[in-house]
Amino acid sequence: MDYISTRDASSTPAKFADILLGGLAPDGGLYLPAEYPQLDDATLTQWRTLLAEKGYAALAAEVLKLFIDDIPAEDIEAMTARAYTSSKFASEEIVPVTRLEGQLYLGHLSEGPTAAFKDMAMQLLGELFEYELGRRGETMNILGATSGDTGSSAEYAMRGRTGIRVFMLTPAGRMTPFQQAQMFGLDDPNIFNIAVDGVFDDCQDIVKAVSGDAEFKREYRIGAVNSINWARLVAQVVYYVSTWLKITETNDQQISFSVPTGNFGNICAGHVARQMGLPIDRLIVATNENDVLEEFFRTGYYRPRTAEKTVATSSPSMDISRASNFERFLYDLLEGDAARVRFLLDTAHTQGGFSLAEDRIMMDVIDEFGFGAGKSTHADRVATIKDTWERLGVMIDPHTADGVFVARDWRKDVDTPIVCLETALPVKFAETIVEATGQEPEIPERFAGILDAERHVTDLPNDVEKVKQFIIDSIEGTEVR
């Protein structure tokens, strides 16, 4: 399996282990497989039995093997077995699926150590990084940005691992107290939290700028765990497969997914699964008030906002206006025309956006990819949380509420079951839960006392050079095992 860049498909193909450690391509693009592996009826039948008999970890290994040919199969199996265990996840199923009402289901992705769907990829990424660095005798300094859950999931997956440091940028004051406590409460010598004076998009821009400095990246061995890293995205493909297997009985049955998304990584994994031939009907993009993606899939206009116009909402992990993984879909939409991808994204950056709205063929193609979209407001998500709790006895977090609200609106347009992918447990967003239900969400025993822990975080301005200097100083002041 070879990998190519969305910005230059003619560049020398890379292998999985190389892009695992590299993150962004040298030309600033994102990696995609040269072609998607295809699923046939026999494979789906085999996987149905495998999931039932051996569980999620075994299924994950089989999916990963389709994308990885430079790591021995037995090593992949060992890593998935360590990543997806009941000692790390609250459910032995790893990703349970429950019926919410009628043909609307919840895919529970928040059973991991930080109660967020990001654990699904991060636990595997920690295994992959440590394995490949050990194989090469190298170290890595991971640089990432988080709008809420990526940071804690990455840090919990990487803490204490051999050869790894983590530098995680957060938008100062834009995460919930629980999210901050999860990250800033860690006191591991290989974990560095940085609160940037800005919004998530500013943090993401800093990560891209540092990663785009080839000399700095090489000298200080910078790697990435954000969803720009293909390894993380392919790990997320697994739960689309497992969810489809749990909902269906035969291989000709389709289901749809409603996915709360800000950076387009979660739903991009669904796009990959659909391109592989997994029987997915609709991929429904659910946004909050930061509705750049909803506007594109509804109208064909892509108009990312400035940091000043990115709204702070009660589903903060989706307060993103420039979705990094949208580039991967755009590459597929334009049939691999890397030059046009670069041109359109440069236009979006310099002129505030671009439009495919007048290209009717293109709009038809977008529909053929199965995408739909909807958006939710604070009032919508509060009402949805209140309804699911009082009427159905199910408490959901604000991001999942966005997904449920949009899914309910789409039920009139789709005939297939809709699975809303849960993003986090309600405990991470207590203020909104109290507003909606009048009561505090349950705190799982493993998080008892987390809000009382001492904080370990460095405040920095929105300045690439200041962040670089902090990385240099921290590397020189610490050793990795």
What tokens were used for 262? 């800000």
Q: Position 360: which residue type? A: R
Active site (annotated) includes residue 65: no
Helix/strand/coil percentages in the chain, nearest 5: 50, 15, 35
Question: At which residue do the structure tokens 């006392």 appear?
Answer: 449
- Residue carrying structure tokens 């309600």: 426
> How far from 216 is each of 23, 198, 206, 208, 212, CA to CA, in Å?
14, 23, 13, 12, 9
From the candidates 15, 54, 88, 118, which is the catalytic residue? 118
Q: How far apart are alpha carbons 245 and 65 in whole angstroms?
A: 19
Annotate 40-56 with DSSP letters as a single string: -HHHHHHHHHHHHHH-H
DSSP 147-170: SSHHHHHHHHHHTT-TTEEEEEEE
In order, the DSSP letters of 398-456 are HHHHHHHHHHHHHTTT--S-EEEE--B-GGGGHHHHHHHHSSPPP--GGGTTGGGSPP-
What positions carry a catalytic annotation? 118
